[in-house]
Amino acid sequence: MTRLNISILQLAVPGAILIASVHAQDKALLRPHWQAGKTYHQQTETQTTSTLTPAPGEFIEQKLNVVQKTEIRVVPEPGTANKRAEVKFAGMTGEMTFQGRTFKFDSADPQSAHPLLRQALAGTTGRSFAMIFDGEDAFVEVKGTERLAGDGATITGLGAMADARGVANLFRQSLEAGLSSKPVAPGDKWTTEQTIPFPQAGEMKVRLNSTYAENVQRDGRLHAKVTFEGRIGSTDTEPDEKGRGEAAASLSGESTLSGQVFFDLERRTVSLSVFLANLTLKLQGNRIPLRQQVTTRLASITDNAP
């Protein structure tokens, strides 16, 4: 059987501060706000289509659809003025179509899934880490990544620890992707550059050209609509494969990103983001075209459970 290749790239606040952005020309800082005492519930759907070439002239399409539920519980950081956002990957379902067959995964019953699908998707469900933000919601640091690497009873090695830090940092950076670090108004344009760690693929350079397109109404609230497009690729032309073995991968320079973000100006948080990536993955000397759409929705904001 052809080897499967699975690509995993996945509050109300005082009105005087917020409603200033109602007028089109007022500038707003589009930085997500984390309110202590609240839990943010996200749902992310990742749709990936890849084209495999097991032999010259032979092409096989593989489709993978994954839905992940994430909870971000915000509490004061003891002894400081900072806030601690505890991120927990609460659940995941997935469905893969390959060679005319469909394989399913549910984190509630992982043992019933195909072994390779289970290996790819079961690793993070139920695990957590923490993001620390200051009183102005600026990012400070990531903590507790060892909880992603193992269950506390198993030592999984330095490679797993590095991958866990990469997952945590990738998640954190994705929360602000495409947004400006300075106040902006409709019509403003800006460029952001980031180096993002992708587990098992090394560091990737992401350059996005963003536009504050307009203010729109969504679900009865005023939102800033930000659109962006750009490129993503490996920082090294010859990625270091030491310690990664057959899993080592990189992205070619023609890989592109585009999408849009809807920032809730009242609650000061992203309510919807859609990323579309057209990627060329270089793996074991092969070039694998990938098309991936990642849609993240803020499902709800609730009071923290006791």
φ, ψ of residue 19 to 5 degrees: the values are -75, -5
Instruction: Identify whether the C-beta of residue 31 lies closer than 8 Å to the C-beta of residue 179.
Output: yes
Tokens of 63: 């489709």
Band of pLDDT at residue 249, cut at 50, 70 and 90: low
Q: Residue 192 and residue 195: Cα distance in Å, rounded?
A: 10
The CB-based long-range contact list for 15-24 (8 Å cut-off, 24+ gap) reads 18/265, 18/266, 18/267, 18/268, 19/266, 21/215, 21/222, 21/224, 21/265, 22/222, 22/265, 24/185, 24/186, 24/215
Please give the torsion angle defined by the CA atoms of residues 179, 42, 110 and 247, in that order, rounded to the nearest 10 degrees: 0
Report in angstroms the alpha-carbon separations of 127 from 68, 147, 167, 263. Answer: 13, 6, 12, 27
pTM of the model: 0.81
Higher pLDDT, 140 or 194: 140
List pLDDT tens digits, range 129-168. 999 999 999 999 999 988 876 543 333 344 444 567 778 8
Query: Can you give the residue ranges of every domain in the chain?
Result: 35-175, 183-306
Spatial separation of the C-alpha atoms in residues 193 and 180, rounded to whole Å: 11
Instruction: For residue 170, count CB atoms less than 10 angstroms from its CB and return exposed for 0-12, middle for 13-18, buried for 19 or more.
Output: middle
Backbone angles phi, psi at 257, to 5 degrees: -130, 145
Q: Output 129 or 4, whichever has higher pLDDT.
A: 129
Q: Which helix (H) or strand (E) holds 174?
A: helix 158-174
Task: Name the helix (H) or strand (E) containing 205.
Answer: strand 202-218
pLDDT in tens, 258-304: 999 999 999 999 999 999 999 887 777 777 888 999 999 999 999 99
